[in-house]
Amino acid sequence: MTDQSFKLPNNCCEHRHCGQEVFAACVSCLALLCWNHFELNDSCTFHTSMDTNEQSVSNKRKIPEDYQLDGAEKEVVRKKKERTNQKNIKKHLHLSGQGYVKLNSMNLVPPKHVKPPCKGKFCDARLGGRMCMKFSEDQRREILQDFYSLANLQQQREYLARHIQVKQTKQKTTQDVSRRNKSNLYYLPLSGEKVCVCKIFLLNTLNISEKTMRTSLGKIKETGIMDKERRGGRRPTLQKNYQRIREAMEKHIRRFPRVESHYCRANTTREYLHSDLSIPKMYALYLEDSDLQTPGSIITYRRVFKSQNLSFHSPKKDQCSLCATYRESSEEDKGKIQSVFNKHTEEKEKIRELKNLSKIRAMSDSTKLCAVFDLQQVIHLPL
């Protein structure tokens, strides 16, 4: 048991394999010492020259499967800070006709309101009988509110397409080839019917530009379906490459051993990875294994990791130092402490049987009470 190659359990004095019970940590190197060696206050060279078992094991881990861990611990319940996307907020305010401040120039954009109408008498005299004068200001404001209550670009474009009729021109006013071969008829709803109005009246009532109207008409396919908005996103080739990168990252993350939450498994599906791991360390291992020409950035790896509902294992109770030492030791070291570990395991199983028996007796007999106490606290020391 005093062989130099054997690593003592974490609850034993680290001064030359003393083996006594730990009293405190060295004030300089934080090595765990018993009362005698702590009182003597010897030089730290006797402590720091001994590498801990955890450090030696960490240096041997080269692939994801090496990060094995036992059990599952209590999940840390954290209240996530709510994040707001200012760009999406401004976009919603714009589509709903409300006022907002531009992000780049910080200029104030006023809310949408009904602009002055056209010259109604001129419209009534025109051929086709446009009835702009029939609309009152209250009716125009109601149309404006209904239009911006949609708060959706696709639906607003469909609204314009339903109230604008495109037809071929009936007569030509020039002998040359004219650039205008179609005419538009504009309508607005009034008492459940579509009433023909002029273009200026329609644009001023909805408070939109002529470019917005032309874009909406240009989105109509030959089948009469409104084409979807295609701005933003990635091109098909980039999207395929991005999907390939995400799949490679997900496959790599699945290689790491994981455990479920011990105390909160009924309320959560979150799983935990080894406490030695971190996203930068996992990404470094991913780069070593990846055979892609463009493996992707650590930002993408972090997004994929968060989508997997994973977290890093953070022990909230004491772990048996003997079990931890046996689990992390090599086969040669395991053989040296095999008898001690077997005896320890038998005692552990016996204690569990006694606890279960006591619980059964307390449940069946009201005169008996079974109480379980954890009398050992966790002392967090720097690694």
**pLDDT at residue number 380:** 52
Return the number of other C-beta atoms located less than 10 Å from residue 256's C-beta.
20
Buried b (16+ CB within 10 A) or exposed e, 140-149: beebbeebbe
Return the number of other C-beta atoms located less than 10 Å from residue 11's C-beta.
14
Asked which of 3-7, 68-72, 366-370 is least confident by mean pLDDT, the reply is 3-7
Q: pLDDT digits over 349-383, tens only?
A: 888 898 899 999 999 988 988 887 665 554 555 54
Encoded tokens for 271: 């799983």
d(CA 146, CA 340): 80
Residue closest to 161 by CA, chosen among 213, 96, 98: 213
Encoded tokens for 334: 């395991």
pLDDT over 90 percentage in the chain: 29
Evaluate whether 178 touches 168 at the Cβ level (below 8 Å): no
d(CA 150, CA 92): 10
pLDDT over 70 percentage in the chain: 74
* pLDDT over 90 at 147, yes or no: yes
Which regions of the chain does DSSP assign to beta strands (E)? 24-25, 32-33, 100-101, 108-109, 164-168, 182-190, 193-197, 259-260, 271-273, 310-312
- What is the average per-residue pLDDT within 114-142? 80
In terms of average pLDDT, the best of 47-51, 143-147, 182-186, 256-260 is 143-147
* pLDDT over 70 at 60, yes or no: no
pLDDT band at residue 287 under the 50/70/90 scheme: very high
Higher-confidence residue of 127 and 187: namely: 187
Residue closest to 305 by CA, chosen among 293, 297, 317, 294: 297
Q: pLDDT digits over 227-264, tens only?
A: 888 777 667 777 888 889 999 999 999 999 887 765 55
Q: pLDDT digits over 182-201, tens only?
A: 888 899 999 889 998 989 99
**pLDDT at residue number 328:** 74
* pLDDT over 70 at 42, yes or no: no
Q: Which long-range contacts (CB under 8 A, 24 or more apart) does 211-214 make?
A: 212/160, 213/160, 213/164
**pLDDT at residue number 10:** 54
Residue closest to 247 by CA, chosen among 309, 299, 290: 290
- What is the average per-residue pLDDT within 43-66? 57
Q: Where are the alpha helices (DSSP H) in 255-310?
A: 279-289, 298-307
Encoded tokens for 289: 């294994």
**pLDDT at residue number 331:** 84
- What is the average per-residue pLDDT within 329-342? 86
Q: pLDDT digits over 71-120, tens only?
A: 544 455 566 677 788 888 999 999 999 999 988 888 999 999 999 988 76
**pLDDT at residue number 275:** 79
d(CA 100, CA 108): 6
Amino acid at 126: R
